[in-house]
Each structure stands twice: as structure tokens, then as C-alpha cells.
Amino acid sequence: MVDEQERLLPIANVGRIMKQILPPSAKVSKEAKQTMQECATEFISFVTGEASDKCRKENRKTVNGDDICWALGALGFDNHADAIVRYLHKFRVAERDKAAQNKASCSRNSQDKEEEESSQDQQPHQQADVPSNSKLQVLEFSH
């Protein structure tokens, strides 16, 4: 069993990344985390294989970061991730702005800061939820 776990990415780390994406009330079954572990590990093998092929064709011995980046693009991950990354980016920008505003108001009035935090907490979550709903339609076609 130990060997099995060593060939995969650690389940705790995988679980943590999953939690970051999901709403706070969401739960993830242990089997789902295990499946995700396997999928992420396979992702690494898949992309590395492609990058390594490129190196071999070009008579290079070392797979470097550029090769990995190239393979990611060649395998189609860029196009796919764009929309999702844009939403995540908006979320993070909102978080950053919130943090910046908090810092600014810290120097002025700490009372005001508390009120800002509770109202701004709502917005990023809403922004993250809205894209999910629109993506729902994309998935339906396959069934």
C-alpha cells in the first residue's frame, strides 16, 4: 500500500486544492479525492511524455520548463483553461482589491474596515458562482 501511495500525488495536497475551488459548504468523498489523485498523476505522465518526445526529436537530453509549457499548449490545455482562469482571476483581483482597501482603511479607521470586510465577502463568492451556472449548459449537451 505504501508503494501505491508513493507513485501518486499526496491525497492531502490534492484535497486541499479541491477545497480551494469549491464553495465552503461542499463536501468531497474520499473516493473522489482518490480518483482526483490518480487523474492528476496521470496528467503529469501524459504531459511529460509529450514533452519528452519533443526533446528526443530535437536530440536534447533534458526536459525543461519550456518543454512542459509547450506540451501543455500542444495538448490543448490552454484553450480550455482560459475561461475558467479568467473567472478565477477576477475572483483573485477582487480579493486583492479588498485586501488593499483594508490596508488603506487600517491607517484611517479600524471600525469602517470591519463593515467593508463583511459586505465585500459576499461579492467574490457570487462572482465565483455565476460562471459555474453558465458552464452547466455546456455539460448538458453530452447527455
Partner 1 sequence: MRQAGSYSGILMSGKTGPHLLPLARIKKIMKKSGDGVKMISGESPIVFSKACEMFIGELTQRSWMVTMQGKRRTLNKEDVASAVMATDLFDFLLNLVSEDTFKSS
Binding-site ranges for partner 1 (CB under 8 A)? 6-10, 13-14, 16-18, 20-22, 25-29, 31-32, 34-36, 38-49, 52-53, 55-56, 61-70, 72-73, 75-82, 84-85, 88, 132, 135-136, 139, 142-143
Nearer to partner 1, 77 or 97 (CB): 77
- What does the alpha-carbon distance between residue 68 and residue 74 come to, in Å, rounded to a whole number? 10
Residue pointed to by grid coordinates 480518483: 35
- How far apart are CB 108 and partner 1 at their closest, in Å? 30
- Cβ of 82: how many Cβ atoms within 10 Å? 10
Burial of 41 per CB tally in 10 Å (0-12, 13-18, 19+):
middle
> Smallest distance from the beta carbon of 21 to partner 1, in angstroms?
5
> Nearest approach, Cβ of 110 to partner 1 (angstroms)?
29
In sequence order, what are the residues at sequence separation of 6 or more whose Cβ sits closer than 8 angstroms to the Cβ of residue 141? none
